[in-house]
Amino acid sequence: MHEPDDDGREAALREEIEQLKTALESRAVIDQAIGVVVTYGRLPSRHAREILIEVSQHTNTKLREVAAHLVQWPMCAWLPPEIRTALDAALQRRKSLGLPDVPPDSRS
């Protein structure tokens, strides 16, 4: 027999499991998007993550949504204009600071 608290605890655990699954899926998409930004912007992954966050903030779009668009971009050859504009602007700002491009074989 279940005690009254058991049902609430079980529901809370199920909800927590779903939240963890969502977080893991989001993390995977964000990591893939960082790879797209590394390739497109020719920069190290630590800088690509910063660019991704900047694009999210400047477009007022959740990070995982920006990431999902970036991951699909190479396959569908389309990126929402506001995300493309913010991405290019963020990369241009980075270049204007005099930060060098990184050859593809020396990314970190």
Residue 17 falls inside a structural domain:
yes
Answer yes or no: is 108 within a domain: no
Please indicate, yes or no, if residue 58 is contained in any of the structural domains. Answer: yes
pLDDT on residue 13: 87
Residue 37 in domain: yes
For residue 99, what pLDDT band results from cuts at 50, 70 and 90?
A: low
Nearest CA among 46, 19, 25, 23 for reference residue 35 = 46
Instruction: Confirm whether 38 is domain-assigned.
Output: yes
| Per-residue pLDDT tens digits for 40-89 | 999 998 899 999 999 999 999 999 999 999 999 999 999 999 999 999 99
The reply to whether 107 falls in a domain is no
Residue 73 lies in a domain: yes
Mean pLDDT, residues 89-102 taken together: 80
Q: Is residue 25 part of a domain?
A: yes
Decide: 36 and 87 in contact? Cβ < 8 Å: no
Q: Look up the domain containing 79 and give its range.
A: 4-102
The structural domain count of the chain equals: 1
- pLDDT of 4: 55
Higher pLDDT pick, 22 / 12? 12
